[in-house]
Amino acid sequence: MIITIVGAGNMARSIATRALAGEHTVRLVDHSPQKAADLAEQLRAGAPPGATPDVTQSDAIGVEGADLVVLAVPYPAGLAVAAEYGTALAGSVLVDISNPVDFATFDGLVVAAGTSAAERIAAEAAPGVPVVKAFNTCFAGTLLGGRVAGLPLDVLIAGDDEEGKRRVAELAASGGLNPLDVGPLRRARELEAFQFLHMAAQERLGLNWSSAIKILS
């Protein structure tokens, strides 16, 4: 698949690493083209000997023709990105990975009860562009390696479009992760609240951002 990642921060690096491990094509788009180009070069330099990862820096047009467009930007920046790209996203699946935490107080979320960042982004996207929530319950550091305590990370996936969720699950599985479909897009409300609790517990539990949410049976 062609995976366009909007953003060039830590989560962009980690998702790109998983995508390249799954032998997908990665395009990086950022408001700073140099930052995206630098990340592309770092990803190429970090590839195993003999590997030739298909990763490039692209301009905004890099979203066109992508199977997945991953919004690796903080909320609410994803709202503006979804609206700006508009119909250029036709045929792509938009993946929201954000956690709408109130970082001023670190005591709650900035979206109203009964909705989610993912649902608000879906409302801004062009008609017919499916939005899938995924990767928000993974920290960048753990996602980079793909495993915690010897187990693959769970990627909890929510969305109303079955083909969209299938593509995200393929990305996760091919990158060595464990995809889990948790239901329709409205389940993003619980995923965002769940990850806020996970984040808020880091200092109290001494986890140092190295933990993962795992479902076992």
**pTM flag (> 0.95):** yes
What percent of the chain lies above the pLDDT cut of 90? 94
The CA distance from 179 to 173, in Å, is 6
**Is 214 among the domain residues?**
no
Domain count, the chain: 1
Cβ atoms < 10 Å from Cβ of 201: 12
Strands 68-71 and 147-148, by their bridges, are unpaired
**Is 69 among the domain residues?**
yes
> What residues make up the domain containing 171?
2-205
The Cα-based distances of 126 to 80, 156, 178, 193 in angstroms read: 12, 24, 30, 26
**Is 143 among the domain residues?**
yes
Each residue of 12-58: pLDDT tens digit?
A: 999 999 999 999 999 999 999 999 999 999 999 998 888 889 999 98
Check residue 160 and report its DSSP letter.
S
What's the start-to-end Cα distance of the chain, in Å? 31
